[in-house]
Amino acid sequence: MLELAILALSIFAFAMVSGRFAMSPLTAPMFFTVIGIVVGTGGLGWFDLDLEDEAISILVEATLVLVLFTDAIRIELRLLRGQADIPARLLAIGFPLTVVAGTVVGMAMFDELRWVEAALLAALLTPTDAALGQAVVSDRRLPVRVRQGLNVESGLNDGLAVPVVTVLLAVEAREGAEGPAGWIALAGREVGLGLLAGAAAGVIGGLLLDHQASRGRVEGLYRQLAVVAVAVVAFAGAELAEGNGFIAAFVAGISFGYVARDQCEGAQDFTQDEGELLSAITFLVFGALIIGPRLDQISPTIVAYALCSLTVVRMLPVVVSMIGSRTLFETRLFLGWFGPRGLASILLALVVLEELSGPAADPVFLIACTTVLFSVFLHGVSANAWAGRLARRLAAETAEMAELEPGEEMATRRPLL
């Protein structure tokens, strides 16, 4: 009961000052992480739950399903076709290069990690969370192409990371047992069934809801609840079929958004509130039960990897991906730096901790969570300042630059300010 009171009081306290801190260096993830560290098992000991408790598992699964689904439905494919250059480069080139770079650095820095475990660590830290640098995607001083490039990337790369993590977990589980054939079969089944379940739930649910709602047969609140139900059906259906439910939730969001775009706006308003609540709870739990009790285990090598992951491992692939894009070099550095690691990395790391066997499970988890901790503060503090600097630099630019071309707005996790 004390834990529930702490959660409620923390949310209320931040609500009282949230207007003052909007677009400031102090972000909600920073606030709730600090509160968690102070009151958690590594601090005052007031927030003391078992990380393996069923309630925590349900929180993790529900939050990840909601994040994957809502990130997917907010990406409008119709709008994306005309302004896909930057996000396409970030996803098609930057994403795989970041996984490769993170794997190489992990193997070089940690002798205890085999290639598959280093690759898992890299995959956990590839999804980005634009909410940690909200000033970047919400600051209208920045060109729409820059903001939407990062917005679309953060909306899609967590869904792309899930099958990578699934395949690597399958490799780790079957390596040395049934050989490549075993893990290929396992990964193929999980990914394939996840894709099928997600596509079926998204298309069928979207078409049915759009048909009924367009004829005035669905009451407003239940239209929103029905959209959330599609995500849950996709997840549960895939899990029952022994597929990957998280892949299904993401694919369901993409499919639903394509066939029932008119139904997405209300769902985004509804799920935004629920997602923000679950995000606040997750970051408080992150501070209290995950990183707080492990602060004394963070070694200089882990710190070095975390900093490399946020800089060289992310920024170099992004700069490479933007070659020939007709963008300023500072814009490329900006896009590379603002790949914050946040909610998706925490949630996927908890899934991996549960599934990964062997002595490397705890080190991989600790390294990933340390990187998220650094990202929460470094990206939160730097977002507003660098966004303003880049906006002034681009406003003074006279050459025809790709990032200055007109574009249309898409929904973000939070409304644009």
pLDDT tens readout for residues 109-127? 999 899 999 999 999 999 9
**Given pLDDT bands bounded at 50, 70 and 90, which one contains residue 71?**
confident
Amino acid at 384: N
**Residue whose entry in the numeric block shows the structure tokens 């949230």:** 18
Tracing tokens 């139900």 back to the chain, one arrives at 229
The model's pLDDT over 196-254, given as tens digits with 9 standing for 90+, comes to: 999 999 999 999 998 898 888 887 778 888 888 999 999 999 989 888 888 999 999 99
pLDDT tens-digit series, residues 46-57: 998 887 777 777
> In the prediction, which pLDDT does 417 show?
36
Residue of 147, 70, 200, 96 lying closest to 390 (CA atoms): 147
106 pLDDT more than 60: yes
Matching CATH number, 52-132+143-404, of 3.30.750.24, 3.20.20.80, 1.20.1630.10, 1.20.1530.20: 1.20.1530.20
The set of residues, in sequence order, having a beta carbon less than 8 Å from that of 85 and lying 6+ positions away, is 325, 402
Instruction: Give dist(CA 263, CA 305) in Å, integer.
Output: 43
Range among 83-97, 304-318, 357-371, 376-390 rated most confident? 304-318
pTM: predicted TM-score of the whole model, two decimal places = 0.88
Residue 285 to residue 47: CA distance in whole angstroms: 9
Nearest-Å Rg of the Cα atoms of the chain is 21
**How far is it, in rounded angstroms, from Cα 340 to Cα 310?**
8
Higher per-residue confidence, 17 vs 269 = 17
